[in-house]
C-alpha cells in the first residue's frame, strides 16, 4: 500500500509539472513568463516553487524518514532469526550493535559537509540509494563480517536521512508553518516501526532473507521519487554566489545579484572554518544546542531503548505487557509530533523544548515512585514517552534547521546528527557501567532518566527564535 502511494506521488508530480499552458490550436507552448504565478500566500506556506511541489517534497521527505526507521527496525526485529542462522553469539551481536553505532556517528557528518559542496538533493539520493542497496545485500550475507559491513552501511546512511531531510525541507518550505509541516515528517519514525513490524510478520514465514528482500521495494521507490526533487532555491543562490566570488566579481556587485542574503565575507571560507574558527552566533548557538541534545539523547537510551530490559529484569514486568505498552505509546505518539510542531508555531520551538525538558524529569521521577503499581506507572510512562519523542522531536529538529545560516546548514545538520548518535552511544555506555556497578536499579533510573534529562533545560541558553520568520532574518 505504501509503495502504491509513493508511485502515485511520483506520477502526480510528473502530471503537475507538465506545462498546461499549451494552446488548443497551436503546437507551441506559451512563454515561461505567461505561466500562472505563485501567490505570496502560497509561497509563505509551501515555498517559492509553489504548493504542488511543496506537497510532493513533503510526501517524499515523510516517506524517506519513515523508511529510515523501517530499515533500522527491520534488523532489530529480525536479529534473533539472523543470529540463529549465522550462528552468532551474544557477544558478536553486541559487537555488531557497537560497530553500527560508531559508523552512524561519522557518515552523517561526512554527508553533511558534502551537502554544502555538492548540494542537498544529491546527498539525499545517495543516502537512500546506499541504504536500499545494503538492505538488499543483507538477504545474501553468509557470515558475520558480511553482515557487519552491509548493516553498518545501511544503518549509517539511513540515519543520515535526519540531517539531510531537515536541511532540504526547511530551506524549501515557506516561513508560515515551516516547523509544523516538518513535525509531520519527524512522525515518520513511529510509522517506520509499524511498517517494519508489518513486513516482518507478513514475510518471516518465508525466512528472514525474504524479509530483507521485500524491504528493498519501498526504499527503491522513494529513491526513484527523489529524482524529481530539486535543490532548494536558497542553495542554488549560494552556489551562484560562490562561483561569482571565485571568479573575482566584487562583493558590491554580488550583493546586487543575491536573491537571499548571505554573509559574503564568511562564505569565502570553508564550512568548518565558518563554524568553528569564527567567534559569534553560529558557534555559540551550535555549542548550546549540542549541550541540550547530549542530555536528551543520553537519557533517552534508558527511557526508550533499554526500558524493556530494565522493567522486566529489575521490576518483574511481563515483556509482552511492555511491548504492548510501547506499541500503544508509539502508535498514539505519532500525533504528538505535529502537536509539538503546532505549539512551536505558537510559542516558539525553543520554548516547547524547554517545557518538554521540565516535564521529562518530573514524569521520570513519578514513574519511579509508582513503578510497582503497574497500571498507574503505565499511564505515567505513556506521557513520559511522548515528552521524550513526539513533543521534543516535533519542535526540536525544525529548531535545528532554522537556527543556522544556509551557508553552513548542511554541515551543521550532519554534525548534529552525528552528535546525536554520539550521545546515544555514550548513554548506552553509561547505562552499561551503572548496571554493572550499581545493584540498586533506583539509582540507575535517578541518574539517567531523571538527572540527565534535567540537563535538557540547558536549551534555555540557546536563542529563542520567533516563529514565522524567513531563515535569512534569523541568521545569515
pLDDT more than 90, % of the chain: 62
pLDDT digits (tens, 9 = 90+) for 207-253: 989 988 988 888 888 888 888 999 999 999 999 999 999 988 888 88
Residue whose entry in the numeric block shows the C-alpha cell 518530573: 362
282 lies in the same domain as 206: no
Same-domain pairing of 215 and 81: yes
Summarised one tens digit per residue, pLDDT across range 44-64 is 999 999 999 999 999 999 999
160 pLDDT higher than 80: yes
Residue 31 has pLDDT above 80, yes or no: no
Query: To 5 degrees, how large is the angle CA 230–CA 236–CA 240?
Result: 150
The three-class DSSP label of residue 270 is: coil
- Do residues 52 and 169 both lie within one domain? yes
Statement: residue 353 has pLDDT above 70: yes
Domain membership flag for residue 237: no
Mean pLDDT of the chain: 88
Q: Which of 175, 205, 231 is the last residue of a domain?
A: 231
441-474 exposure pattern, b = at least 16 Cβ within 10 A, e = fewer: beebbbbbbbebbbbbbbbeebbebebeeebbeb
138 occurs within a structural domain: yes
CA 271 – CA 77 distance, rounded (Å): 39
Residue 155 belongs to a domain:
yes
The pLDDT value recorded for residue 17 is 46
Please give the C-alpha separations between residue 418 and each of 111, 164, 337, 393, in angstroms, as whole numbers. 10, 12, 22, 16
**Is 218 found in the same domain as 293?**
no
Same domain, 277 and 226: no
The CATH number for 100's domain is 1.20.1250.20
Mean pLDDT value across residues 360-378: 96
Are 169 and 57 within one domain? yes
Q: Where are the alpha helices (DSSP H) in 139-187?
A: 144-159, 161-172, 178-186
CA distances from 473 to 341, 348, 391 (A): 20, 15, 25
Q: Considering the domain boundaries, does residue 93 fall inside one?
A: yes
- Alpha helices, DSSP H only, in 229-306? 233-246, 251-257, 271-272, 281-300
Which residues, in sequence order, are CB contacts of 353 under 8 Å at separation 6+?
292, 392, 395, 396, 399, 456, 459
Q: How many domains does the chain have?
A: 2
Q: What angle do CA 19, 234, 249 make, to 5 degrees?
A: 110
All cell numbers assigned to 172: 524549501
Q: Which three cell numbers stand for residue 96?
A: 555488531
Would 475 be classed as within a structural domain?
A: no
Same domain for 343 and 287? yes
Which 3 state secondary structure label does DSSP give 416?
A: helix
Instruction: Count the helix, strand and coil residues of the chain and give each as a percent rounded to the nearest 5.
Output: 80, 0, 20
Can you tell me whether residue 306 is helix, strand or coil? coil
Domain final residue, candidates 181, 215, 231? 231
Helices (H), 301-373: 307-315, 319-333, 336-347, 349-370
Terminal Cα distance for the chain, rounded: 42
State how far Cα 44 lies from the chain centre: 23
Task: Express each pLDDT in 430-455 by its tens digit.
Answer: 988 888 887 789 999 999 999 999 99
Mean pLDDT of 265-287: 93
Q: Work out the pLDDT band at 320, boundaries 50, 70, 90.
A: confident
Task: Please compute, for residue 136, the number of CA atoms within 13 A of its CA located in the half-sphere on the CB side.
Answer: 10
- Among candidate residues 331, 383, 74, the one with its CA nearest the CA of residue 191: 331
| Structural domain containing residue 450 | 272-464
Average pLDDT over residues 88-107: 87
Cβ partners under 8 Å of residue 216, min gap 6: 132, 135, 136
Q: Among 320-324, 338-342, 402-406, whose mean pLDDT is lowest?
A: 320-324
**Together in a domain, 288 and 215:** no
Which pLDDT belongs to residue 52?
A: 93
Using CA of residue 225, residue 417, residue 49, residue 336, what is the dihedral sign? Answer: positive
Phi and psi for 429 in degrees, rounded to 5? -65, -40
In a domain, 238, yes or no: no
CB-CB contact of 262 with 407 (8 Å): yes
Residues 6 or more apart from 446 whose CB is under 8 A from it?
368
- Which of 208, 231, 254 terminates a domain? The answer is 231
- Beta-carbon-side half-sphere exposure of residue 130 (alpha carbons within 13 Å): 21
Same domain, 209 and 76: yes
> What is the grid cell recorded at 391?
513533543
Query: Same domain for 184 and 289?
Result: no
Task: Identify whether residues 318 and 446 lie together within a single domain.
Answer: yes
CA–CA gap between residue 372 and residue 392 (Å, rounded): 27
Does the pLDDT of residue 15 top 70, yes or no? no
Scan for cell 540531517, then name that residue. 163
Rg (Cα) of the chain, in Å, rounded?
23
Is 456 inside a domain boundary? yes
Classified as helix, coil or strand, 66 is helix
Residues 281 and 227 in one domain: no
Residue 36 has pLDDT above 70, yes or no: no
Q: Which three cell numbers stand for residue 121?
A: 538533493
Give domain status of residue 327, yes or no.
yes
Q: Using one digit for the tens of pLDDT, what is the confidence trace for 377-428?
A: 999 999 999 999 999 999 999 999 999 999 999 999 999 999 999 999 999 8
Amino acid at each position: 500500500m505504501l509503495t502504491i502511494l509513493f508511485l502515485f506521488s511520483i506520477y502526480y508530480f510528473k502530471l503537475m509539472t507538465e506545462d498546461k499552458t499549451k494552446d488548443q490550436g497551436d503546437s507551441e507552448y506559451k512563454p515561461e513568463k505567461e505561466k500562472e504565478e505563485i501567490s505570496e500566500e502560497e509561497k509563505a506556506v509551501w515555498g517559492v516553487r509553489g504548493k504542488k511541489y511543496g506537497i510532493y517534497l513533503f510526501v517524499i521527505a515523510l516517506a524517506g524518514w519513515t523508511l529510515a526507521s523501517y530499515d533500522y527496525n527491520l534488523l532489530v526485529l529480525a536479529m534473533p532469526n539472523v543470529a540463529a542462522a549465522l550462528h552468532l553469539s551474544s557477544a558478536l551481536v553486541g559487537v555488531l550493535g557497537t560497530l553500527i553505532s560508531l559508523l552512524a556517528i561519522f557518515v552523517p557528518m561526512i554527508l553533511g559537509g558534502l551537502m554544502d559542496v555538492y548540494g542537498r538533493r544529491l546527498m539525499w539520493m545517495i543516502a537512500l540509494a546506499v541504504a536500499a542497496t545494503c538492505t538488499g545485500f543483507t538477504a545474501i550475507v553468509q557470515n558475520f563480517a558480511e553482515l557487519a559491513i552491509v548493516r553498518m552501511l545501511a544503518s549509517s546512511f539511513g540515519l543520515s536521512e535526519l540531517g539531510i531531510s531537515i536541511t532540504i525541507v526547511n530551506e524549501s518550505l515557506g516561513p508560515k508553518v515551516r516547523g509544523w509541516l516538518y513535525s509531520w515528517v519527524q512522525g515518520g519514525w513511529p510509522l517506520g516501526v509499524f511498517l517494519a513490524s508489518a513486513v516482518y510478520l507478513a514475510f518471516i514465514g518465508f525466512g528472514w532473507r525474504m524479509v530483507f528482500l521485500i524491504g528493498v521495494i519501498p526504499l527503491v521507490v522513494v529513491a526513484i521519487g527523489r529524482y524529481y526533487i530539486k535543490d532548494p532555491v536558497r542553495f542554488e543562490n549560494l552556489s551562484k554566489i560562490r562561483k561569482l566570488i571565485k571568479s573575482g566579481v566584487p562583493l558590491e556587485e554580488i550583493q546586487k545579484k543575491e536573491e537571499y542574503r548571505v554573509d559574503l565575507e564568511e562564505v569565502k571560507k570553508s564550512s568548518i572554518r565558518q563554524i568553528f574558527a569564527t567567534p559569534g552566533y553560529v558557534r555559540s548557538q551550535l555549542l548550546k544546542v549540542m549541550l541540550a541534545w547530549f542530555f536528551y539523547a543520553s537519557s533517552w537510551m534508558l527511557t526508550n531503548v533499554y526500558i524493556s530490559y530494565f522493567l522486566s529484569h529489575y521490576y518483574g514486568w511481563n515483556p509482552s505487557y511492555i511491548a504492548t505498552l510501547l506499541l500503544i505509546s508509539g502508535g498514539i505518539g505519532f500525533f504528538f509530533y505535529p502537536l509539538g510542531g503546532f505549539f512551536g508555531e505558537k510559542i516558539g520551538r525553543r520554548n516547547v523544548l524547554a517545557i518538554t525538558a521540565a516535564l521529562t524529569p518530573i514524569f521520570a521521577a513519578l514513574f519511579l515512585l509508582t513503578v510497582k503499581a503497574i497500571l498507574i506507572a503505565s499511564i505515567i510512562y505513556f506521557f513520559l514517552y511522548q515528552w521524550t519523542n513526539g513533543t521534543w522531536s516535533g519542535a526540536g529538529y525544525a529548531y535545528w534547521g532554522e537556527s543556522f545560516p544556509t551557508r553552513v546548514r548542511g554541515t551543521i545538520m550532519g554534525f548534529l546528527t552525528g552528535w546525536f548518535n554520539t550521545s546515544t552511544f555514550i548513554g548506552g555506555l553509561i547505562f552499561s557501567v551503572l548496571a554493572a556497578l550499581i545493584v540498586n536499579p533506583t539509582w540507575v533510573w535517578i541518574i539517567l532518566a531523571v538527572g540527565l534529562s534535567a540537563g535538557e533545560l540547558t536549551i534555555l541558553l540557546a536563542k529563542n527564535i520567533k516563529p514565522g520568520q524567513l531563515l535569512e532574518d534569523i541568521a545569515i
